[in-house]
Structure 1
C-alpha cells in the first residue's frame, strides 16, 4: 500500500488561465466570457469579476467583462462595465 504523505500548507497564489476562443466581434466575445464565468461561478477559486477579453494580437489591451465594483457581502457587481444605474450582485461573483 502506498504511503500517505503529509504536505505542509502552502499559501495560495493567484494565476491567470489564458483560454483562446473565436468570436465574430468584441460584443460576442464579451457575451461568451460572461457566460463562461457565470457557468463556473460555483468554483471558489475563480475571481470572475476580474475577467477580461483581449484580441489575440492585442493582448495588452484588456476589455473588462463585468463592472466588478465591490457591492454587498463581498460580492462584485455582475453588470456590464459602464452600466447605467446602481451596481448590484446578481448571482454571485466573489471578490
Structure 2
C-alpha cells in the first residue's frame, strides 16, 4: 500500500467569499496534475470556529460519478466545466 501525503496551504483572506474564490482558483489551476481532489477543497475560519469548514465546490455528483466543479450554491445543472 502506498502512502499519501496531504499538503495544507494556509492562505489568509478577510472574507469567506474571497477565501472560497481563491481556494477554487488554486484547486482548479493544479487539478491537471491529478494530485488535487477539487471536491475535497474546503475553507476554514480560524478565528470563529476552526471546526466549521465551508465547501469550495458543489457537493453533488454527476451521472459519471464525478463531483460537480461549480460553486456550492450555483444555479442550473451541475457540470465539470465552468460556464463561459
Between Structure 1 and Structure 2, which shows a larger proportion of strand residues?
Answer: 1
Tell me the TM-score range normalised by the shorter chain: 0.7 to 0.9
Which structure's CA Rg is the greater one? 1
Q: Report the aligned-residue RMSD.
A: 1.9
Where structure 2 has 5 or more consecutive residues not aligned to the other structure, the ranges are: none
Pairing of 1:59-78 with structure 2 (within 5 A): 59-78=50-69
Output the TM-score relative to the length of structure 2: 0.79
Structure 1: 5+ residue runs without aligned partners? 1-9
Q: Please report the TM-score for the alignment, with normalisation by the length of structure 1.
A: 0.71
Farther off after superposition, 28-37 or 40-49:
40-49
- Would you say how many aligned residue pairs link Structure 1 and Structure 2? 81
- Measured in 1, the distance between the counterparts of 2:54 and 2:72 equals 9
